[in-house]
Chain A
């Protein structure tokens, strides 16, 4: 019964997507928009996707973007978790760093772009640094909040059981702060792609963002749509990866902590 209702729900969720694609195809094919030139049908976009994949253009640009996101997101998240843990664990460090973090956190990641272009120059490090900044601050904030919000009773219980400070930190506090840490990571996983595309569009000659800009200059709406679909799928996929990781690591208990 449950399986049947699950299948029904999935089918019900896929229906709007199918309708959307069908409408897109009809509008593009029957020239219901300003012109096929500016609004290609879905089948043309798929065809172009195949073409870009086969000739290696999409693969090359996608790989450049993916590597940047992975390096920037991983380094930003690791640094963010490290600083966030220290800030949440030791109030002295929190008091020292919190004003700086509070000042820098609200600056949009792309706001750093002009400054970084001058400091770093236009090279591979530029988008990586932007993504680093984009992921670092929210992860710091969420991690520190998660660490601080761990119920003091668990720490007291661990103390009376003879655990050292490090053991309490790694075995009790950080695991209990994981739901908060994952919230930060999940948010930034998708955001890093958005920031990357913007950086590539403005300053970098390779990557999905650069491909988008080239397509725009050649008035290739089909390529733009391919890039947007790739971007959308990657944002979704990255967020999904963290959701799966979160479910795997803390799903058994997180709703009851």
Chain B
């Protein structure tokens, strides 16, 4: 499978963008609305004009029409042909390539089986659910065996459960097909779950390209740090495996017990909204609960950020303004801190 390279590419908000996507990689682009994510996919697919150069497998495709680029594209709106059945939609690319009817039928059948949509063969797109439509669109884009797959928010507008199921299937499929994939999403957690590498885009610029782990533990600038939720990075001086699935880590005065099924932990990233602050001692066992001092309080619209020092560690907590107003917090005051264990990320030694 080929790699993709963008050299000084400019289009709309995207200005002089340089990017290299490795072969067989699942490369996820995240960013806010209007960052230029879809523009980037359109440029790679060749359905939008651009300046600069796009190379697929080392060869420039600037003068190659979209129909010859060997790119499968799952559009954000899916663009399933409303006048064709599911079967005809999937077969469209095969017929366009001049494939013999019997061979095309076999390929369509195998794709429908792979995507679990065989029972929908004769249905029209408007009769399908959101998840079914996504599967059909994916089967259609995979049908001509493209070298590169572009996916524009494939799980958007699906309920959480369906999105998760589809994502899991999609990742296993992409790994099996070993296909170079560019996947656009605005959901960082989704990106983290599936990406080999992540690129964060903002206003047409790429702020950082790195592995999911480096995004949290080594943000390149303030924007990236803000985008990933300004996680608190705790350096662990010691860690000890307690039982299967639990590990005790020590960082200065803080000793935490965490659910973790790996080796020794070197760093932990804790999202600020997973740190709970109280001015009275919270009930329950004294596990992952600490006493600290408020160092700084700052308001950001509907939320308040409170920086608390616990020994040498400084933690940033973010809480809704309404919750903050119920507490009588001020700088210098002692507070109780509880760390929730929902979305911790780790770096092993």
Say yes or no for B103: interface residue by CB 8 A criterion. no
- Inter-chain CA distance A142–B54, complex, in Å, is 40
Are B67 and A154 in touch, CB under 8 angstroms? no
Chain A CB within 8 A of B186 CB: no
Q: Which of B46, B73, B96, B141 contacts A163 (CB 8 A)?
A: B96
A157 and B73 contact, Cβ closer than 8 Å, known pairs A162-B67, A176-B82, A257-B82: yes
In the complex the two chains form, is A153's CB within 8 Å of B67's CB?
no
* B77 part of interface (Cβ distance < 8 Å): yes
Q: Is the CB of B66 within 8 A of A156?
A: yes
Q: Is the CB of A160 within 8 A of B71?
A: yes
Q: Is A256 an interface residue (CB 8 A)?
A: yes
Pairwise interchain contact A159-B65, C-beta atoms closer than 8 A? yes
Contact of A4 with B by CB under 8 A: no
Complex: how many Å from CA A159 to CA B48? Answer: 12
Say yes or no for A55: interface residue by CB 8 A criterion: no
Q: Cβ of B96 and Cβ of A157 under 8 Å apart?
A: no
B residues within 8 A CB of A160?
45-47, 66-67, 69, 71-73, 141
Main SS class of interface, A = helix
**Is A247 in contact with chain B by the CB < 8 A criterion?**
no
Asked if B324 lies at the interface with its beta carbon under 8 angstroms from chain A, I say: no
| B141: A residues at CB distance < 8 A | 160-161
Which among A158, A176, A255, A257 is the interface contact of B92 at CB below 8 angstroms? A158
Cβ contacts under 8 Å, A172 to chain B: 81
Which single residue of chain A is at the shortest CB-CB distance from B124? A253
Q: Is the CB of A159 within 8 A of B67?
A: yes
Is B83 an interface position by the 8 A CB rule?
yes
The residue on B at minimum CB distance from A171 is B92
**Which residue in A161, A167, A250 is a CB contact (below 8 Å) of B144?**
A161
Q: Is B292 an interface residue (CB 8 A)?
A: no
B46 to chain A: closest CB distance in Å? 8
Contact B93 A161 (CB under 8 A): yes
| Chain A residues within 8 Å of B92, by CB | 158, 161, 163, 171
Measured in the bound complex, the distance between the Cα atoms of B140 and A156 in whole Å is: 14
- Report if A157-B79 is in contact (Cβ < 8 Å); known contacts: A162-B67, A162-B96: yes
| A170 vs chain B, min Cβ distance (A) | 12
Q: Is B97 an interface residue (CB 8 A)?
A: yes
Q: Establish whether residues A257 and B65, one from each chain, have CB atoms under 8 Å apart when the complex forms.
A: no
Shortest Cβ distance from B48 into chain A, in angstroms?
9
Contact with A along B82-106 (1 / 0, CB 8 A): 1100000000110011000000000
Q: Which residues of the partner chain A approach B82 to less than 8 Å between Cβ atoms?
A: 176, 253, 256-257
Question: Using Cβ atoms and an 8 Å threshold, which residues of chain A touch B125?
Answer: 253, 256
For chain B, which range describes its interface: under 10, 10 to 19, 20 to 34, or 35 or more residues?
20 to 34
Please tell me if the beta carbons of B124 and A256 are within 8 angstroms of each other in the complex: yes
Residue B126 is within 8 A (CB to CB) of chain A in the complex: yes
| B97: nearest chain-A partner, CB-CB | A162
Q: Is B75 an interface residue (CB 8 A)?
A: yes
Pick the most buried of B83, B97, B124, B140: most chain A CB atoms within 10 A of its CB. Answer: B83
Q: How far is the CA of A178 from the CA of B83 in the complex (A)?
A: 10
Q: Which residues of A contact B46 (CB under 8 A)?
A: 159-160
- Scan residues 123-142 of chain A and give those whose CB is less than 8 A from a CB of chain B: none
User: A153 — nearest CB in chain B belongs to which residue?
Assistant: B79
Judge whether A205 is part of the interface by a CB distance below 8 angstroms: no
Using an 8 Å CB-CB cutoff, how does the interface string of B56-82 with A read, 1 for contact, 0 for none? 000000000111110111010101011
CB pair A162 B144 closer than 8 Å: yes
CB distance from A186 to the nearest CB of B (A): 19
Indicate with 1 or 0, residue by residue over B117-130, a CB within 8 angstroms of chain A CB atoms: 00000001110000
In the bound complex, residues from chain A placing their C-beta under 8 Å from that of B42 are 156
Q: Is the CB of A161 within 8 A of B96?
A: yes
Q: Does A248 contact B (CB under 8 A)?
A: no
- A159 surroundings in chain B (CB, below 8 A): 46-47, 65-67
Structural contact, A252 and B124, CB atoms closer than 8 A: yes
Given A172-B81, A252-B124, A256-B82: A157 in contact with B144 (beta carbons within 8 A): no
A161-B83 contact given A153-B77, A252-B124, A253-B124, CB 8 Å threshold: no
- Once A161-B96, A162-B144, A256-B126 are accepted as A-B contacts, the answer to whether A156 and B75 lie under 8 Å apart by CB is yes
The answer to whether A164 touches B79 (Cβ under 8 A) is: no
Inter-subunit contact A153/B75 (CB<8 Å)? yes
B101 CB to closest chain A CB (Å) equals 15
Report Cα–Cα, A153/B137, bound state, in Å: 13
**Nearest-neighbor residue (CB-CB) of B72 within chain A:** A160
In whole Å, how far is A99's beta carbon from the nearest beta carbon of chain B? Answer: 28
A256–B133 CA distance with the chains assembled, in angstroms: 14
Once A253-B124, A257-B82 are accepted as A-B contacts, the answer to whether A156 and B47 lie under 8 Å apart by CB is: yes
Collect the chain A residues with CB atoms within 8 Å of residue B77's CB: 153
Distance between Cα atoms of A54 and B68 in the complex (Å): 67
Residues of B with Cβ closer than 8 Å to A?
42, 45-47, 65-69, 71-73, 75, 77, 79, 81-83, 92-93, 96-97, 124-126, 140-141, 143-144
The contact sample of 29 A-B pairs, CB cut-off 8 A, is A151-B79, A153-B75, A153-B79, A154-B79, A154-B81, A156-B42, A156-B47, A156-B75, A157-B79, A158-B81, A159-B47, A160-B45, A160-B46, A160-B47, A160-B69, A160-B72, A160-B73, A161-B93, A161-B143, A162-B68, A162-B93, A162-B144, A163-B92, A171-B92, A176-B81, A255-B126, A256-B82, A256-B124, A256-B126
